[in-house]
Structure 1
Amino acid sequence: MLTAAGGGCCALAVLLVIVDIHPGGCLHIISSASQEGKQLNLICTVWHKKEEAEGFIIYLCKNRPGDCSPETSLMQLRLKRDSGIDGRSEQPSQLVFTIHQVTPSDKGTYQCCARNQMTDVLLQGHFFSVLVTEDGNYTVEGLRQGQPPKFTHRTGTLSAGFRLGNVWAVLLTSLVALRAL
């Protein structure tokens, strides 16, 4: 138990380091699809601020639950910082994977992801499925409009399941408890 003068501040600093908060800012990923005749476009859109783009790779995986990475992806796009756009507003960057003639071999479960290798941030879109009949007719299922994507920080503990408000409540409660010592 910390009882020395200034010990409460030291314990709070240790607690802050353990929690390792790195919120995703304005970053989010959306999966979508568009159709033009027999052609199917699978679209991964990452919304970010200008200064957040550098170091990001957007990629699309097929049939890789739990193992989706740039190395196992069908296609990837490396983002670059665009000096011509104002950094205060969000901007989209899109990876478009085009299947020119959909065949039964295109059937599967797809996922859009993005990773920043400089900050170790990982964004994972929802899984969606492409269902294809023998004659080439297809449907896309599982695209979720308006639902937030999963955010994961690979070395931290913050995710969509653990709200930032809960982190602040724990920190505030800890500070009050340490102050009483």
Structure 2
Amino acid sequence: MLFSLFTLFLLIGAVSFGGGYAMIPVIGAEVTKKAWLTTTEYTDIVALAGMTPGSIASNSATAVGYKVAGIPGAIVSSIAITLPSIIFVLIIALFFYKINQNKLLQSAFYGLRPIVTSLIIYAAIHFAIENGVISLHVSWHMVSLFLLFLASLVGLSYFKIHPTLVILFAGIIGIIIF
């Protein structure tokens, strides 16, 4: 089991671009496909990982490893998901000035941006559907959540309100409405 955890998270860490949020759907698909966790269990892990300090992907991998194989699983999963990043950063640091000007590499990273964005949006929609936030049944609860989302988006993008204030106001509105 430890070898399976190590190879899975090493592979995910090696091929996932865009940070922790882009890795969430990849990790979720793999752990549910292997029947290590249910979608609900993984959603709970992601929620917990998002509330703890550190990368959400590393925290998710640690929690999945712990759930699957205890403390050794947590250690192995944590090392495996971070090892590729450490190796890539060291290699890039050695050759930074040479590869920084490489047009082919710049184009490749530019091409990855929409994929990373789509992975993050997919993760958000997938978790919203799985947790009953989005459904085909239109209710006051769903409409109010959408309006709160829209107001937050407008506040952040148009009025340039600090994200901390948006979170604070959304929490207060949530307390009042719900």
Give the TM-score normalised by structure 2.
0.23
* Structure with the higher fraction of residues in helix conformation: 2
Structure (1 or 2) with the larger CA radius of gyration: 1
Give the TM-score normalised by structure 1.
0.23
